[in-house]
Chain A
């Protein structure tokens, strides 16, 4: 009955593997955050002043230049390589027999552990990215809302008077031009002529700015969104991404449990020809795409 002796070759290795897998199932989804690289964007005044759609682009660009994005890209590459290794090992295990097959199955289990660990790392980096982004959007929203609060009653009255004056003035400009400058005694001034010429140029530029793709105003269901509403929508999208990450974390937890069970089954000698030999799955973005490696037991 000395089943757990360390002198039984592959069995003892499988036992070690199973213990490692159990430990992994506890730790895979919670690696240390202190080691992860950072992204520290700030809700600058320049960002607040940008048009709605450009805010997101500017933030995404800032993220791409951060160490966090580099780390995320690096983990993504490693996950891609790991997925390829899993594919290769699975094919090799299908073709192998006896002791070699046993060895390959153990390697396959070890690689699956590695895959879960990498996915855990990726989840943490993604969580950090999304949380930072949501906090940034919230800070921008607070700044925008504070701007509106600063207007006093006197300022409001002045703005109202200035608006009314502009309206009244624009209504009388044409009449003034007709009455004063259509007579033979008075001609339009240099300022008037230059202003009209420049105004035409400005109108052309404004039309070009309005039509510029970088200046497209955010819309929702065909309706234009204010900057505040757009930021609220981005915050909601960030929160939904976090919820999806939580769900993906559950998937990783279940994968880790399956690896642990497979390892135990292997150590008990019950897992012959029963390890992960299934269909291809090469999409790397979500742990759900790699579930086949873990659930197939035919």
Chain B
């Protein structure tokens, strides 16, 4: 009985260790995930302006570290995968926080300008039915 319990415990421990290993993502994947959360926050219509701002600030602090981890990650040097290629082709979208500070824009304004949405575009838009 004791033997079976010990065996079960060992299998469970091994499974936990394996799960931890599998869950470990690269620096770029972590950055992508946090960035997706940030974009979701920007676009979420259910949030009030104050809530949105609070969430953005929190996310921004995490993004600063994650962006630095990506740029310092030596394993990405010369890693010719589509994800890495795309990330470094679009600096302004990948390194959102650093690029927005560099351009002296708020994070939201910077992201919107990068995806082609400007105040002028919004103001010029007409409300109508899409056929």
Contacts and interface: CB of A to CB of B under 8 A. Distances in A.
Given A155-B80, A159-B78, A168 B102 contact: yes
A155 B61 contact: no
- Main DSSP-derived SS at the B contact region: helix
B102 A189 contact: no
B20 to A, nearest CB: 20
Interface in B47-93: 57, 60-61, 64-65, 67-69, 71, 76-80, 84-85, 88-89, 91
B111 interface: no
B54 to A, nearest CB: 10
Interface residues of B, number: 26
Contact of A168 (B69, B77, B89, B91): B91
B88 A176 contact: no
Contact of A191 (B65, B99, B101): B65
Contact of B98 (A164, A173, A191): A173
A161 B77 CA distance: 10
A96 to B, nearest CB: 78
A91 interface: no
Contact of A186 (B61, B78, B85, B102): B61
Contact of A165 (B68, B71, B79, B101): B71
A203 to B, nearest CB: 14
A162 B77 CA distance: 7
A180 interface: yes
B65 A165 contact: no
A179 interface: yes
Interface string A186-208: 10010110010000000000000
A152 B94 CA distance: 24
Contacts of B102: 168, 171-172, 175
A173 B101 CA distance: 9
A288 B71 CA distance: 63
B88 A161 contact: yes
Nearest to A151: B78
Interface in A4-47: none
Given A165-B88, A169-B98, A176-B101, A159 B77 contact: yes
A61 interface: no
Contacts of B94: 165
B91 A165 contact: yes
A154 interface: yes
A191 B27 CA distance: 13
Contacts of A152: 80
Counting chain A CB atoms within 10 Å of each CB, which of B61, B79, B95 scores highest? B61
B97 interface: yes
B98 A155 contact: no
A261 B16 CA distance: 89
A154 B77 CA distance: 13
Contact of A176 (B77, B80, B84, B97): B97
Nearest to B62: A189
A49 interface: no
Counting chain B CB atoms within 10 Å of each CB, which of A165, A175, A192, A195 scores highest? A165
A298 interface: no
A185 B79 CA distance: 37
7 contacts: A161-B85, A162-B77, A172-B102, A175-B101, A176-B97, A186-B57, A191-B68
The 7 closest A-B pairs by CB, nearest first: A161-B88, A172-B102, A191-B65, A172-B98, A176-B101, A169-B71, A189-B65
Interface of B: 57, 60-61, 64-65, 67-69, 71, 76-80, 84-85, 88-89, 91, 94-95, 97-99, 101-102
